[in-house]
């Protein structure tokens, strides 16, 4: 639901929508140039991205070039807000045997009692046409909200991002081809981990985190950890209905204090936090659009996770769009 | 500190916005270069016309660049075809433009197809027929008689939006129509010797031109609108061309030249670069009448060359 003409270049949208953060987050899955989400986006914004019911105000500034400011306020619970108050049980496959983010469950949902308990996102984007054939779009985004990490304290999450999109399209483009596009996003997340005492689960006979030397249940104080990363992707629509792509992904995290002690979990030694460890990936792919409503995509991922073996994977994607669908924005 | 930054920002915006109302010229945004040319012809010095689609690019697929949003947000009038040619990319831009002056049903939203009788309105809509436009074939400006209707419509709208210059718009309209009448007679005379001649086009964009000048442009390199040519379809086109002695292929700048060349080689046909948009072919930038001059002359010359060649190459009895 969207207003068509408020005065002064303002527009309001209400309903379920993607938070205005970066570039990939606002796009539907079928607009992605690759089979999977970039590592840094999936890790820092959550596997489903930021997407929840709420309201968004945008302002097209009266500058000679395109410049737009977005502010959104949304519910901060659920799979559409994983880095916030979604809790530690995303999708249900965060089973008890694996350690959640920061080695502590997310049991600290303090509910919504004030405006700042909601998910706030802001984005400012500018764009200019470099030539008749080239367009550049730059954006900077931020998202804030309490999170539910640990069991005590008032932890919150801050995420910042910058993004860049450049596209060249042939002056004689036919059905949108040929074109070359380059896209890059960098993200930083400051995540407060709430304090958590593993003594209680230990008393109840559940799995618990223990000091490797003493065997005592761990007490994890509140602390702040930083995760960061980027991706760059190049797409080349070299002939009608054919696109070749190459993406490089990188994500890493600062070493948290909680990672500096030797822990065991369920008797097994625990290394660094798997959900925050350095990882990079290289993904070439090839996409063919048999028609405007379908696509076939072949993608190879070389995935290097620090302290874990390399992964090689091959993806084959087939997609068929049915029904009416509005055109996409740039 | 942040407060002073805010004050500066407000001051800058105030200064900037205060310079805007000084511009007295009507800001017109046209989706395609043919409509822009007609708007310029009518508006003359009283309008600023910006074109969205490049004259050389496929008008069905235009990127909704953010800069287009800025242009639309400040436009006094939007001049578009109205027959679905641009709807795929124009609709989302209009939704984001926050400009009540150019929303559908507003005075400044000029659907140029109003009053034009569209050909080939489909009886039923089905993707099996390719990318068919529900309202009918949207390439109506290749018929100069339709340009007459559009120019009159534009003069009405501009006179209503800018009454101070209404007399000028009316005078420009009359001048354009007089020039059109003069040239139309010449164009018809130039193409009359080829009445009934059959031509090939890549896309079904020329039924209006064909009807006006008594040509048959009913063979297409695309099997269906928007569907890329297949080998089997091209073979049938080549067979049909040989059977009927078709020797001319019309090709827009954005269409696949290699496909056309393959067919041309197989049939001895010649390729005529055409465009519905002033500037789509070099030398046609000046405007609509100049573009039509070029089209008529280029097509007549190609037909002339092909008939004289087939006469000379015809086996003697």
Compute the average pLDDT of residues B27-46.
97
Q: How far is A326 from chain B (nearest CA, A)?
A: 7
Residues in CB range of A196: below 8 A, 6 or more apart: A104, A105, A107, A149, A150, A151, A152, A219, A220
Q: Which of A273, A125, A270, A136 is nearest to A191 (CA)?
A: A273
Q: What is the DSSP letter of B235?
A: H
Which residues in chain B are contacts of A291 at CB distance < 8 A? 227
Note whether A47 and A90 are within 8 A (CB): yes
Note whether A47 and A37 are within 8 A (CB): yes
Q: How far is A52 from chain B (nearest CA, A)?
A: 21
**What pLDDT sits at residue B133?**
76
Handedness of CA B275, B277, B283, B287 (dihedral sign): positive
Nearest to B65 among A5, A6, A135 (CB): A135
B225 close to A (CB below 8 A): no
Note whether A245 and A181 are within 8 A (CB): no
Handedness of CA A93, A99, A100, A105 (dihedral sign): positive
Cα→Cα distances A240→A59, A285, B211, B226, B316, Å: 36, 16, 32, 12, 46
C-beta atoms of A172 and B57 within 8 A: yes
User: Among the listed ranges A152-156, B31-35, B151-155, which one has the minimum average pLDDT value?
Assistant: A152-156
**What pLDDT sits at residue B18?**
46
- Per residue in B163-182, pLDDT (tens digit) is 999 999 999 999 999 999 99
Cα→Cα distances B186→A43, A69, B180, Å: 69, 55, 10
Tell me which of B21, B62, B65 to substitute to probe the interface with A (most A C-beta atoms closer than 10 Å): B65
Task: Tell me the whole-structure pTM to 2 decimals.
Answer: 0.87
Q: Maximum CA pair distance of chain B?
A: 97
C-beta atoms of B17 and A167 within 8 A: no
Paired residues of A252 in beta bridges: A228
- Per residue in A226-276, pLDDT (tens digit) is 999 999 999 999 998 999 999 999 999 999 999 999 999 988 899 889 889
B316 close to A (CB below 8 A): no
Q: Give all strands of the β-sheet with A263-265 in edge-to-edge order.
A: A209-211, A263-265, A268-270
B258 close to A (CB below 8 A): no
Tell me which of A2, A5, A240 to substitute to probe the interface with B (most B C-beta atoms closer than 10 Å): A5
Note whether B156 and B174 are within 8 A (CB): no
Element at B190 (helix H, strand E): helix B166-191
Compute the average pLDDT of residues B268-292.
96
Q: Which of A289, A301, A225 is nearest to A256 (CA)?
A: A225
Note whether A36 and A80 are within 8 A (CB): no
Highest mean pLDDT out of A12-21, A279-288, B1-10, B124-133: A279-288
B15 close to A (CB below 8 A): no
Could you identify the residue written with the tokens 């081809």?
A177
Q: Give all strands of the β-sheet with B216-220 in edge-to-edge order.
A: B216-220, B198-201, B248-251, B270-273
**Cα A111 from Cα A118, distance rounded (Å):** 9
- Per residue in A46-68, pLDDT (tens digit) is 988 999 999 999 999 999 999 99
HEC per residue, chain A: CECCCCHHHEEEEEEEEECCCCCHHHCCHHHCCCCCCCHHHHHHHCCCCCEEEEEEEEEECCCCCEEEEEEEEECCCCHHHCCCCCCCCHHHCCCCCCCCHHHCCECCCCCCCCHHHCEEEEEEEEEEECCCCEEEEEEEEEEEEECCCECECCCEEEEEEEEEEEEEEEEEEECCEEEEEEEEEEEEEEEEECEEECHHHHHCCCCCEEECCCCCECEECCEEEEEEEEEEEEEEEEECCEEEEEEEEEEEECCCHHHCCCEEECCEEECCCHHHCCEEEEEEEEEEEEECCEEEEEEEEEEEECCCCEEEEEEEEEEECCCCCCCCCC
Q: Is 80 exceeded by the pLDDT of residue B131?
A: no
**What pLDDT sits at residue A113?**
82
Nearest to B66 among A127, A171, A175 (CB): A127
Band (pLDDT 50/70/90 cuts) for residue B7 is low
C-beta atoms of A330 and B89 within 8 A: no
Q: What is the DSSP letter of B271?
A: E
User: Among the listed ranges A182-191, B129-138, B255-264, B277-286, which one has the minimum average pLDDT value?
Assistant: B129-138
Can you say how many angstroms the Cα of residue B57 is from the centroid of all Cα atoms in its chain?
11
State residue B87 phi and psi, 5-degree precision: -60, -35
Note whether A141 and A21 are within 8 A (CB): yes
Q: Which of B53, B56, B50, B88 is nearest to B72 (CA)?
A: B50
**What pLDDT sits at residue A327?**
67
Nearest to A175 among B58, B67, B92 (CB): B58
Compute the average pLDDT of residues B195-207.
95
> Least CA distance to B51: which residue of chain A?
A132
CB contacts < 8 A, A to B, total 97
B228 close to A (CB below 8 A): yes
Band (pLDDT 50/70/90 cuts) for residue B243 is very high
Torsion, CA B112, CA B117, CA B118, CA B121, rounded to 10 = 130
Nearest to A173 among B98, B100, B254 (CB): B254
Compute the average pLDDT of residues B75-94.
93
**Cα B269 from Cα B307, distance rounded (Å):** 11
C-beta atoms of B91 and A326 within 8 A: yes
Q: Which residues of chain A have pLDDT under 70?
A: 5, 87-97, 323-327
Q: Which of A4, A2, A26, A5 is nearest to A14 (CA)?
A: A2
Q: Is 70 exceeded by the pLDDT of residue B9?
A: no
**What pLDDT sits at residue B313?**
47
Nearest to A9 among B73, B89, B226 (CB): B73
Q: What is the DSSP letter of B79?
A: E
Report whether the peptide linkage leading into residue B291 is cis, meaning its omega lies within 30 degrees of zero.
no
**Cα B190 from Cα B7, distance rounded (Å):** 67
**Cα B197 from Cα B200, distance rounded (Å):** 10
> Least CA distance to B68: which residue of chain A?
A66
Which residues in chain B are contacts of A66 at CB distance < 8 A? 66-67, 69-70
C-beta atoms of A128 and B89 within 8 A: no
**What pLDDT sits at residue B233?**
96
Q: Maximum CA pair distance of chain A?
A: 72
Which residues in chain A are contacts of B256 at CB distance < 8 A? 174, 240
C-beta atoms of A62 and B16 within 8 A: yes
Mean residue pLDDT across chain B: 89
Note whether A153 and A110 are within 8 A (CB): no
**In this structure, are strands A177-193 and A223-239 parallel, antiparallel, or unpaired?**
antiparallel
**What pLDDT sits at residue B1?**
43
Paired residues of B111 in beta bridges: B80
Identify the three-state secondary structure at position B17: helix
**What pLDDT sits at residue A189?**
97
Q: Is 80 exceeded by the pLDDT of residue B123?
A: no
User: Among the listed ranges A134-148, B20-34, B36-50, B200-214, which one has the minimum average pLDDT value?
Assistant: B20-34
Cα→Cα distances B68→A9, A127, A170, B73, Å: 14, 10, 18, 8
**Cα A63 from Cα A67, distance rounded (Å):** 7
């Amino acid at each position: 639901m969207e207003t068509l003409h408020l005065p002064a270049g303002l527009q309001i949208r209400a309903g379920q929508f993607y938070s205005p953060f970066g570039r990939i987050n606002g796009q539907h899955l079928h607009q992605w140039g690759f089979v999977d989400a970039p590592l840094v986006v999936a890790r820092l914004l959550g596997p489903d991205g930021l997407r929840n019911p709420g309201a968004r105000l945008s302002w097209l500034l009266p500058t000679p070039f395109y410049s737009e400011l977005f502010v959104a306020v949304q519910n901060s619970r659920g799979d559409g807000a994983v880095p916030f108050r979604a809790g530690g049980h995303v999708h249900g496959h965060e089973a008890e045997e694996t350690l959640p983010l920061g080695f502590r469950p997310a049991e600290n949902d303090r509910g919504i009692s004030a405006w700042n308990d909601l998910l706030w996102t802001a984005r400012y984007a500018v764009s200019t046409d470099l030539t008749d054939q080239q367009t550049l779009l730059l954006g900077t985004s931020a998202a804030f909200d309490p999170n539910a990490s640990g069991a005590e304290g008032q932890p919150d999450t801050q995420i910042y991002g910058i993004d860049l999109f450049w596209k060249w399209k042939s002056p004689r483009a036919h059905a949108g081809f040929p074109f070359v596009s380059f896209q890059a996003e960098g993200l930083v997340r400051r995540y407060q981990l709430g304090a958590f005492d593993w003594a209680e689960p230990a008393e109840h006979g559940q799995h618990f985190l223990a000091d490797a030397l003493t065997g005592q249940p761990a007490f994890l104080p509140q602390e702040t950890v930083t995760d960061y990363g980027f991706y760059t992707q190049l797409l080349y629509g070299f002939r009608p209905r054919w696109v070749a792509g190459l993406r490089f992904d990188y994500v890493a995290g600062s070493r948290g204090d909680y990672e500096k002690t030797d822990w065991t979990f369920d008797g097994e030694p625990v290394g660094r936090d798997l959900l925050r460890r350095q990882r990079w990936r290289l993904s070439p792919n090839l996409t063919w659009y048999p028609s405007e409503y379908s696509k076939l995509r072949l993608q190879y991922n070389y995935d290097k996770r620090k302290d874990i073996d390399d992964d090689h994977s091959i993806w084959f994607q087939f997609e068929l769009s049915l029904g009416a669908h509005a055109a996409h924005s740039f | 500190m942040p407060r002073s930054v805010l004050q500066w920002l407000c001051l800058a915006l105030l200064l900037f916005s205060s310079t805007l109302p000084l511009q007295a010229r009507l800001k017109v945004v046209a989706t395609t270069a043919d409509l822009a040319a007609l708007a310029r012809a009518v508006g003359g010095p009283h309008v600023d016309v910006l074109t969205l689609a490049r004259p050389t690019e496929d008008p069905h697929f235009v990127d909704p660049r953010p800069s287009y949003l800025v242009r639309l947000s400040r436009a006094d009038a939007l001049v578009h075809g109205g027959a679905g040619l641009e709807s795929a990319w124009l609709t989302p831009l209009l939704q984001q433009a926050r400009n009540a002056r150019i929303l559908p049903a507003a005075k400044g939203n000029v659907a140029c197809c109003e009053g034009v009788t569209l050909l080939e309105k489909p009886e039923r809509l089905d993707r099996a027929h390719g990318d068919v436009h529900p309202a009918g074939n949207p390439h109506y400006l290749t018929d100069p008689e339709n340009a007459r209707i559009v120019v009159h419509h534009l003069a009405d709208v501009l006179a209503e939006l800018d009454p101070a210059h209404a007399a000028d718009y009316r005078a420009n309209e009359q001048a354009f129509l007089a020039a059109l009448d003069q040239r139309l007679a010449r164009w018809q005379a130039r193409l009359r010797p080829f009445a009934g001649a059959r031509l090939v086009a890549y896309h079904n964009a020329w039924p209006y031109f064909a009807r006006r000048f008594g040509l048959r442009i009913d063979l297409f390199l695309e099997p269906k609108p928007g569907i890329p040519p297949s080998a089997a379809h091209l073979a049938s086109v080549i067979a049909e061309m040989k059977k009927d002695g078709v020797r001319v292929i019309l090709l827009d700048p954005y269409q696949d030249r290699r496909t056309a060349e393959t067919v041309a080689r197989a049939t001895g046909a010649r390729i005529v670069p055409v465009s519905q948009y002033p500037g789509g072919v070099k030398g046609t930038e000046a405007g609509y009448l100049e573009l039509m001059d070029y089209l008529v002359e280029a097509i007549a010359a190609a037909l002339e060359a092909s008939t004289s060649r087939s006469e000379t190459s015809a086996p003697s009895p």
